[in-house]
Amino acid sequence: MKPKAFVSQNKKEEVKQIKSLIKKYPCFGIIDLTSLPSATLQFIRHKIKKNNVLIITSKKSLIKIAINDLKDEIKSISTLLPSLENTMPALIFTTMNPFKLASLINKNKSSVAAKPGQLSPRDIIIPAGPTKFTPGPVIGELGAVGIKTIIQEGKLVIKDDITFVKYNEVIDKKKSEILAKLGIAPMEVGINLVALYETGTVYLSDMLNISEETYLNRIKEAYQHSFNLAVFISYMSKETLPLLIKKAYLESKNLALKTGIQFSEEISKKDTKKEHVHKETTKVEEAEILKEKSFVGYSEETAEKAQNILKELQDQKINEKRT
């Protein structure tokens, strides 16, 4: 029988502490400290502590023991284990939700110059435009790595945008020197978020690294598309009904004109002026492009235009009530 490995009391206490923190905080996860200077870690740790964020360092083996000990007690916690591989792990605990924590971590990263041998964290694009350089040997240096330049007003100007280094490509010595000369610092120093756990769900870094602006834009886009579809299929709701009524009016008017049937311009709507009706009808005419295009071919531009028209109608309604 193989004897059990000796585990010191200090290590047992460390595992106990990790388990206690996992139970205490609603959100916790794994961060990667690879290549992060100790002084930078201490600075970030102190800075984010005021947001009720706690970082503790521990050996990978002890983190695994703590997670395995809790796998029958905490739902799906064992799905975090693969995230420990190929990292120099530490644990992060918070009362914030995962996305707010990810945003906080990203805000506490700083940009630094690339070193030879590092992997590019993204596509590094050198933009077209003027540089600080005067004509000289630097023309040949830039040309040797595919950067085309011209001379304008005694300065070198990069002719076109260029994808200088692709995502996950190794940055060689020559390219790192060129990036430094151009003042481009593509590398980020800070905590790398690997995965976060909250109430049975594990969020990996690629799910969390979505900016708030991108998230809001996606919500707006989804609303615009759903509004466009609702108008196209004549689905009646609080938002679409005003526009659908105006569409019905316009279609009736057009049909009457085509068939020679007498059509009255008056609409029995209390406190509604004819001029106001005409303005709204003009807006509906703009919205008619929704009907003219098939559902398969509708564009985001069309959806956005429909949303803008609805907003104008709603604003007019608000102004009417005020007056």
pLDDT given for residue 311 in this prediction: 60
pLDDT given for residue 293 in this prediction: 41
pLDDT given for residue 5 in this prediction: 53
Note whether residue 91 is domain-resident: yes
Note whether residue 3 is domain-resident: no
pLDDT given for residue 3 in this prediction: 53
Q: Is the pTM of this model over 0.75?
A: no
Kindly give the parts of the chain with pLDDT less than 50. 266-282, 284-299, 321
CATH number where 155 lies: 3.90.105.20
Note whether residue 160 is domain-resident: yes
pLDDT for 13-54, tens place per residue? 999 999 999 999 999 999 999 878 888 888 888 888 888 899
18 and 94 co-located in one domain: yes
pLDDT given for residue 4 in this prediction: 54
pLDDT given for residue 106 in this prediction: 86
pLDDT given for residue 234 in this prediction: 86
pLDDT given for residue 103 in this prediction: 87
pLDDT given for residue 271 in this prediction: 39
pLDDT given for residue 195 in this prediction: 93
Q: For residue 317, what are its two tokens? A: 């309604």
219 and 203 co-located in one domain: no
73 and 13 co-located in one domain: yes
> Residue 148: helix, strand or coil by DSSP?
coil
94 and 236 co-located in one domain: no
Domain hosting 287: range is 214-322
CATH number where 41 lies: 3.30.70.1730
206 and 218 co-located in one domain: no
156 and 283 co-located in one domain: no
pLDDT given for residue 109 in this prediction: 83
Let me know: does 69 contact 19? Beta carbons within 8 Å: yes
201 and 61 co-located in one domain: yes
89 and 132 co-located in one domain: no
Please state the separation of Cα 258 from the chain's center in Å. 50
pLDDT given for residue 265 in this prediction: 59
pLDDT given for residue 281 in this prediction: 46
Q: H or E segment at 163?
A: strand 162-165
129 and 174 co-located in one domain: yes
268 and 255 co-located in one domain: yes
Note whether residue 294 is domain-resident: yes
Number of domains present in the structure of the chain? 3
> Residue 23: helix, strand or coil by DSSP?
helix
Nearby residues of 311 by Cβ (< 8 Å), 6 or more positions away: none
pLDDT given for residue 322 in this prediction: 52
Sign of CA dihedral 166, 168, 172, 175: positive
13 and 135 co-located in one domain: no
Note whether residue 29 is domain-resident: yes
- Which of these, 289, 106, 307, 67, lies nearest to 197 by C-alpha position? 67
pLDDT given for residue 175 in this prediction: 92
Note whether residue 290 is domain-resident: yes
48 and 197 co-located in one domain: yes
Q: For residue 202, what are its two tokens? A: 């594990």
